[in-house]
Structure 1
């Protein structure tokens, strides 16, 4: 998951790195805790990325459905306009006195 979105998520306020300088470098347990914390953060980040990717996929499907719906409506509108035009021509040709 190496993308611009990954960097944005890691730099967000949600995931804050642990201050390593305040830990004793010889304290193995402290270093293990830092590693566990980073693994947890990476897991949370990966979970956020997966959720965002799933949401993106859903939004793309929704957009496709909306696009198809708009296209169908545009076809229906074009058909109605054509029918109105034909009806107007029929009305104009059948009763010229009514146009006066």
Structure 2
């Protein structure tokens, strides 16, 4: 067995202040894990909100592109009508 292998801590032979130090470390880790989990939850919520916002923006852009295409088509038809209705103005 290698000498650099971690060995279990013998809690029974530790002094009471050592056990309290271990309890404090455990409490600190639990607090850090809780804070980390809270931050992860906030980031997941923010990600979901951003995805919804992006979807709304994408839908809005698609609607605007359709409107632009419709207006272009209307202008093209109007131009054809105008061109056909007054051939003298083209001379």
TM class, shorter-length:
0.7 to 0.9
Contact 2:83 2:90 in 1 (8 A): yes
Ranges of 4+ aligned residues in structure 1 off by more than 4 Å: 10-26
> Is there any run of 5+ residues in structure 1 with no aligned partner, and where?
1-9
Output one character per residue of 1:57-80: Cα deviation in whole Å (capped at 9) or x when no partner.
000000000000000000000000
Q: How many residues are paired up?
A: 91
Give the Å deviation of 1:26. Answer: 6.8
> Is there any run of 5+ residues in structure 2 with no aligned partner, and where?
none
TM-score normalised over the length of structure 1: 0.74
Question: Which structure would you say has the larger Rg?
Answer: 2
SS at 2:56 equivalent: helix
CA RMSD of aligned residues (A): 8.0
Q: Which has the bigger relative contact order, CA under 8 A and spacing at least 6?
A: 1
